[in-house]
Amino acid sequence: MELTDKLEILADAAKYDASCASSGAPKRSSEGKDGVGATSGMGICHSYTPDGRCVSLLKILLTNFCIYDCQYCVNRRTSNVPRARFSVAEVIKLTVDFYLRNYIDGLFLSSGIIRSADYTMEQLVEVARQLREVHHFRGYIHLKTIPDADPALIALAGKYADRLSVNIELPTEASVDRLAPEKSIHTIKLAMGSIRRKLDEKAEEPKSPRFAPAGQSTQMIVGADSSDDQTILNTAETLYNSYKLKRVYYSAFSPIPQSPDSVPLAPPPMLREHRLYQADFLLRSYGFAASELLPASGGNLALDIDPKLSWALAHREHFPMDLNLADASMIARVPGIGLRNAKRLVELRRLRRIRYVDLTRLRCSMKKIAPFIVTADYSPVNGAATSEMLRRSLADSPQQMNLWTELQAA
C-alpha cells in the first residue's frame, strides 16, 4: 500500500480521539542547535494561541488493526473498515517531512492494539525515541499510552513525549465491562497512577530525568452508554483530584457503520458535549464542584443555558451581588464575568467604587450580567424576577443554519 493511502486511512481513523491538545509544554527551539523543530508552549492541535496563531499536529494512528472489540470503536476487531499499518520509519518520515514543509508543529500518535499491549507500546516509544535521539526533533510529541503495557515502557514514553494520555473512554466500570470487556478500568487507573507518580517525582526533584512536562490527559465518550452528565462530571472530578490530569476531553459518540446493538443508533446532541466542556472549565478554573452544577438526583446539564448561568439561577440567594463588597471568587461566579475581569474589578476597587460603565468598558455581556449585580450607581430593576422568567429571557435562541441565505433573500 502506498504511503499516501496509509495516511488517508490512519489519519481518518484518528479523528475520534479528542484528547490531543496541549498546554504546558516547555518551549524548545532548534535555533543554534542540531536538529529541527520547536514548541510554542501553547495549545496545539488545530487550536489558536492567544496571539492568533493557528498550530496543528500530525494526528495519526500507527495502525487501525486491533485485537480488542470495543463496541463503540470504529477500529474494533469486528469492524468492516479498511485497515493499514505504518512502520516506525514511515511515521518518522511523515513527521519530519511535514514539519519541514511547515504543515505541522508536532505529532500526536495513537494506535490500535496489535500482538500485545507491550509490543504496541514499544513501537510508539520507538517512534518518539528516534525522532528525539536520531533526528533531534524538538517539536511537540503526544503519545497515547496503552494501559496494559509494562510500567517501564510508560516511563520510557515520558522521557521522549511532551504529553501522555490514557483514555478511560467510559465513566463507569459497568459501562467498560459491557462495551469494552477486554479492557479494565482498574488497569487504566493504574496506568494513570504510574504517570502521576513519575510527574510527582519530577516535581520533587527538578534535576531528575525529563518526564512528560505537559502532563497527562484522558478522554470520555459522551452518549455511548446511558451515563448522565452528573456521572461523567463526577468521574472527571475524581480523575482531576486523584491523578492531577491536565485535561479531561469529551467526545460525542458518533454512530459507526454496522454498529452493534449494544450502542445507540443516533448521536447525542453536539451541544451536550459543549456544555460538558463548559462545566469542566468551571471545575478546573472556577472552584466549582460537580455537585454544585447538577442535583444529587442526577441528570444532564441544561442545553438552553450554560452551566454557570444555570447555577446562578438555582442559587438566587447570592444575587444580586454587590461587586464592591464580594470577593474575587464569588464575582467570577456571576454569569457574564470571567476570571480575568473578576481580577480586574477587584484591582479597580482599590482605587474607587465600581460603576456600571466599568463593566461595559470591560466588554462584559451586559444582558447576561445585569440581573445579577449591584454597583455604586446601579441595581437591577428585575432583581425580584423569578428564576424561570430570567431563564426565558437569557436562554440561547436556537437558530437554523442555512447554506443559501442569499438565495432566500432574493
Q: Using one digit for the tens of pLDDT, what is the confidence trace for 59-95?
A: 999 999 999 999 999 999 999 899 999 999 999 999 9
Residue 167 identity? N
Give the number of other Cβ atoms within 10 Å of residue 378's Cβ. 16
Quote the pLDDT of residue 48.
Answer: 41
Q: Read out DSSP for 207-276?
A: TSPP--TT-EEEEEEESSSS--HHHHHHHHHHHHHHH--SEEEEEE----TT--TTS-SSPPPHHHHHHH
**Alpha-carbon distance values, 323 to 3, 341, 370, 375, 387 (Å):** 60, 12, 12, 6, 21
Cell reading at 205: 526533584
From residue 286, alpha-carbon distances to 120, 243, 282 in Å are 39, 19, 5
CA distance 167 to 249: 9
* Alpha carbons 188 and 168: distance in angstroms, whole number: 6
Provide the whole-model pTM: 0.88
What is the residue whose three cell numbers read 457574564? Answer: 336
283 three-class SS: helix
Helices (H) and strands (E) in the chain, counts: 16, 12
- What DSSP string runs through 50-98? TTS-EE-EEEEESB---S---TT-TTSTT------B--HHHHHHHHHHH
Contact 232, 250 (CB under 8 A): yes
CA dist., res. 144 & res. 150, Å (int): 14
Q: Going by C-beta distance under 8 Å and a sequence separation of 6 or more, which residues neighbour residue 171? A: 220, 225, 227, 231, 232, 234, 235, 236
Residue 128 near residue 1 (C-beta atoms within 8 A): no
Model confidence pLDDT, tens digit, residues 319-345: 999 999 999 999 999 999 999 999 999
Q: Please identify every stretch of the chain with a pLDDT value under 50, giving residue numbers as ranges.
A: 41-44, 47-53, 407-408, 410
What pLDDT digit, counting tens, does each position of 112-160 carry? 999 999 999 999 999 999 999 999 998 899 999 999 999 999 999 999 9
In 3D, which of 185, 176, 180, 183 has the Cα closest to residue 238?
Answer: 185
In degrees and rounded to multiples of 5, residue 333 shows phi and psi of -85, -5
Cα distance from N-terminal residue to C-terminal residue, the chain: 50
Q: What is the pLDDT of residue 53?
A: 47
User: For residues 390 and 313, is the Cβ–Cβ distance under 8 A?
Assistant: yes
